[in-house]
Structure 1
Amino acid sequence: MAGKETEMQELMPKEVAATVPPLYATEDEGDPIARVKLFSSVSAWTWYVTEYDPATGEAFGLVEGFADEWGYFSIPEMEAVNRSRGFNVVERDVLFEPVPVSEARR
């Protein structure tokens, strides 16, 4: 489908990525700031990004899914899922304002 990929939302545009600390920068913080909120439009999963490496696309943060846990996840893999499905399975909440993770949780 020509042109379909251009309709996909960029999950971590450069201006957003620039606001997120690098990997391991917040590991000693008890309640780091959730800088970006990603969510699935087809499941109840949510990812709160607290750290990000723009070179690899690897992110770290709180994942609310089957269980709530801290972990690493790949932004390029999420964007690949979106392209393979032809719609934004994972989206960035463009209205989300950075807050401590404890305040962002469900």
Structure 2
Amino acid sequence: MQLLTDELRAKLLQNGANRDEDHFPVVKLFTPDGACTWLLTEIDPECPDIAFGLCDLGMGFPELGNVLISELESVRGKLGLPIERDLFFKAKHPISVYADDAREKGHINA
């Protein structure tokens, strides 16, 4: 499965051009054989391999930060499965709401 379609990438780049806004997550990625989840809001237009969003590596400390898209594409979980895109994810809140909730609960709840 392609992690980012052209449409998703265009929206992430558009958000990246307006970094001062509290964007809604554009895409949710996850490890089907693990506890990792990413809610990405934007891509840096000057370096399109760098995405920003809420990252949860399953250790109880989700945080906002940058991640390399190329790294996400190469990651394999415990059973060797690649990261997948949640095809049914539709953001209901800006990223700050997801981040506050994730810090409180210790994991992304989306």
What amino acid is aligned across from residue 15 of structure 1 in structure 2? E
How many residues are treated as equivalent by the alignment?
94
Q: Which runs of 5+ in 1 are unaligned?
A: 1-8
Shift of 1:37: 0.3
Closer/same/farther in 2, CA of residues 59 and 13 from structure 1, 3 Å limit: same
For residue 47 of structure 1, report the CA deviation from its aligned partner. 0.4
* Distance 1:10-1:27 versus aligned 2 partners, 3 A rule: same
What is the CA deviation profile of residues 54-106 of structure 1, one whole-angstrom value per residue up to 9, with x for unaligned ones?
A: 76321100112221100101111111235xx9964211101111332325941
1:39 and 2:30 are equivalent in the alignment: yes
For 2:89, the equivalent position in structure 1 comes to 96
TM score, norm. by length of structure 2 = 0.68
> 1:40: how far off?
0.9
Give the strand-richer structure, 1 or 2.
1
Runs of 4+ residues over 6 Å off in structure 1: none
TM-score, L = length of structure 1: 0.70
Share of identical aligned residues, percent?
30
Unaligned runs of 5+ in 2: 102-107
